[in-house]
Amino acid sequence: MKISVIVRSKDEAPRLRLVLTSLACQTVPAEVIVVNDGSSDHTEAVLAEASSWLPLRSVHHASARGRSAASNAGAAHATGDVLLFMDGDVLAHPDVVARHGAAHSRSGSLIGRGETFHLRGTRFFSDPETGAPWPGDEARVARLPEDERRRTLVTRELLLNNFAEIDRRAVPGIYPGAGPRRLYELEMDALRHHPECGVLWAASSGSNMSVSRDRFMRAGGFKEHLDNNEHRELALRLCASGARMAPIGGARTYHLTHRVGWRDPLAETGWDTQFYRDHPIQAVKLLAVFWASLADRSVIPPQARINSLPELEAAARDTNGVDYDAVRRLIPGFAATPL
């Protein structure tokens, strides 16, 4: 079972260097393909350096084409039986490739969802290895006690010799905050305990997601007009074709958080109209209601809240008298994009 790891990256060279280090430490080797999606930083230099200690192939886009197009470009160059999608700011546990591979060896119809964690302490660093701050965060970083700053660094030496320390620091969920953590826990609970739930496609992950290359190609890959929730749209199509979402226990990745690049689907609208145009089903319409229900100060009335994926499936079948079109319009920004 050959795994092709596809790493999508744009303007995150210091983090990419660490990600490629983590891929060089896998207990089972994999084909690594990096798609440089129009970076303007020193990504090409990082790739040249990494090629001396990690066999990899790279694809270069002269200008950014977005996550979906980058994913498809990587898949087009892959030769593995299974595609494992990752981002250029997400470290891989040494067993990630082995665990995805073992799961796909048992089932060829799998869409694998690994366990996603984050390292909150890196968020103010443009380079998590040196502790160099983002522009504008110099004073904040300077105020950090030296021992605290040193403890939050992520170095190649640490990845190579003490990955257990990375795991010890990590927090569940790909982003910091109570909402992202709760969503992660609900998604993993549904995958682990409700395997027959009809909306498990909504529990797919944009990174640490695996699928057979043949099935991916037959589905036509990611929809390139979608650059937010593209992974859920792909998972929906794959599930409709007979694939099934399943958790990959122990296949952990760790997001090197940063102050730029957070894409909140409740803050960025437009994807919902495109998603619904392709899949005019109630469950797609209710995704935003589900996510908004999890907020600490939710705008969703208690009786209309959707608090789990099984509840999302139930609401999609029977609204129980709730006017969800009106509920969606309570979410800031969504009133302007009616479905």
**Per-residue pLDDT tens digits for 103-148:** 999 988 999 999 999 998 899 999 999 999 999 999 999 998 988 8
Q: Which domains does the chain have, with CATH numbers?
A: 3-120+171-256 (3.90.550.10), 271-328 (no CATH)
In this prediction, residues 162-169 reach a mean pLDDT of 96
Reply yes or no on whether the pLDDT at 13 is more than 90.
Answer: yes
In this prediction, residues 27-39 reach a mean pLDDT of 97
What is the Cα–Cα distance from 75 to 160, expressed in whole angstroms? 28
Bigger pLDDT: 97 or 339? Answer: 97
Alpha carbon dihedral 158, 163, 166, 168, in 10-degree steps, equals: -130
What is the Cα–Cα distance from 55 to 7, expressed in whole angstroms? 14
What is the Cα–Cα distance from 187 to 203, expressed in whole angstroms? 5
> With 0-12 CB in 10 A as exposed, 13-18 as middle and 19+ as buried, what is 323?
exposed
Return the pLDDT at 338.
Answer: 64
Return the pLDDT at 108.
Answer: 82
Reply yes or no on whether the pLDDT at 268 is more than 80.
Answer: no
In this prediction, residues 199-218 reach a mean pLDDT of 96
What φ, ψ does residue 253 adopt, rounded to 5°?
-125, 160
* Structure confidence by residue, pLDDT tens digits, 51-105: 999 999 999 999 999 999 999 999 999 999 999 999 999 999 999 999 999 999 9
Report CA-CA distances (Å) from 110 to 6, 22, 83, 101, 242. 18, 24, 11, 11, 9
Per the prediction, the chain carries an average pLDDT of: 93
What is the Cα–Cα distance from 234 to 85, expressed in whole angstroms? 13
